Chains A and B, each alone.
Chain A
Amino acid sequence: MKLVKKILLYEVHNTIRSRWVIFYTFFFFLVGYALFTFSGEVSKAYISLMNIVLIIIPLISVIFGSIYFYNSREFIEMMLSQPIDRKSLFLGIFLGVAIPLSAGFALGFSIPFLLFGKVTEQLTGFLLLLLLGMLLTFIFIALSFLISVKQDDKSKGLGLAILIWLILAVVYDGIVVMIIYFFQDYPLENTMIILSATNPIDLGRILFLMKFDIAALMGYTGAVFQRFFGSSLGMIISISCLLIWVLLPFVLSSRFFNKKDF
Chain B
Amino acid sequence: MISVKKLDKKFGKNLVLKNVNLTIEPGKVTAIVGPNGSGKTTLIKSILGLVRPTEGIIEVDGKLVGDDYLYRKRIGYMPQMANYPENLTGNEILSLIKSVRNTEKVSAGKILSSLKLESQMDKGFKNLSGGTKQKISVLIAFAFDPEIIILDEPTAGLDPVSSSFFKDLVLMEKEKKKTIILTSHLMNEVQELSDEIVFLMEGEIRYKGTINSLLEDKKETRLERAIAEIMSQDDR
* A interface, CB within 8 angstroms of B: 3, 6-7, 10-11, 13-15, 17-18, 71-75, 77-86, 259-262
Contact = CB atoms under 8 A, between A and B. Distances in A.
Given A17-B87, A77-B50, A261-B50, A85 B69 contact: yes
Interface string B71-92: 1110101010111111110001
B81 A74 contact: yes
User: How many interface residues does chain B have, given as a range?
Assistant: 35 or more
Contacts of B92: 10, 13
Q: Which 7 A-B pairs have the closest CB atoms?
A: A74-B83, A17-B87, A81-B77, A83-B73, A14-B85, A262-B50, A261-B51
Interface stretch (B95-103, B161-169, B206-214, B215-223): B95-103
Nearest to B11: A261
B62 to A, nearest CB: 17
B5 interface: no
Nearest to A68: B85
Contact of A79 (B75, B100, B124): B100
A3 B83 CA distance: 21
Given A82-B100, A83-B72, A259 B87 contact: no
A79 B72 CA distance: 11
Nearest to B77: A81
Contacts of A83: 69-73, 100-102
A80 B100 contact: no
Interface string B172-212: 00000000000000000000000000000000000000000
A17 B137 CA distance: 23
Contacts of A84: 69, 72, 100
B52 interface: yes
B138 to A, nearest CB: 13
30 contacts: A6-B100, A7-B96, A10-B85, A10-B96, A11-B85, A15-B87, A72-B85, A73-B83, A74-B79, A74-B82, A74-B83, A75-B83, A75-B85, A78-B140, A79-B100, A80-B48, A80-B50, A81-B48, A82-B73, A82-B97, A83-B70, A83-B71, A83-B100, A83-B102, A86-B69, A259-B52, A260-B52, A261-B11, A261-B50, A261-B52
Contacts of A73: 83
A261 B100 contact: no
B123 to A, nearest CB: 13
Contacts of A78: 77, 79, 82, 84, 137, 140
Residue with the highest number of chain B CB atoms closer than 10 Å, among A10, A11, A13: A10
Interface of B: 11, 45, 48-52, 69-73, 75, 77, 79, 81-88, 92-93, 96-97, 99-102, 124, 137, 140, 150
Contacts of B75: 81
Contacts of B81: 74
Given A10-B96, A261-B50, A82 B72 contact: yes
Residue with the highest number of chain A CB atoms closer than 10 Å, among B85, B86, B97: B85
Contacts of B11: 261
A10 B88 contact: yes
Contact of A262 (B45, B70, B93, B100): B45
A72 B69 CA distance: 20
A13 B88 contact: yes
Contacts of B101: 82-83
Contacts of B52: 259-261
Nearest to B133: A74
B152 to A, nearest CB: 10
Contacts of B82: 74, 78
B72 A81 contact: yes
Contacts of A10: 85, 88, 92-93, 96
A262 B79 CA distance: 11
Given A13-B88, A78-B137, A261-B52, 14 more contacts: A15-B87, A17-B87, A17-B88, A71-B86, A73-B83, A77-B50, A78-B77, A81-B77, A81-B79, A82-B72, A82-B97, A82-B100, A83-B102, A85-B69
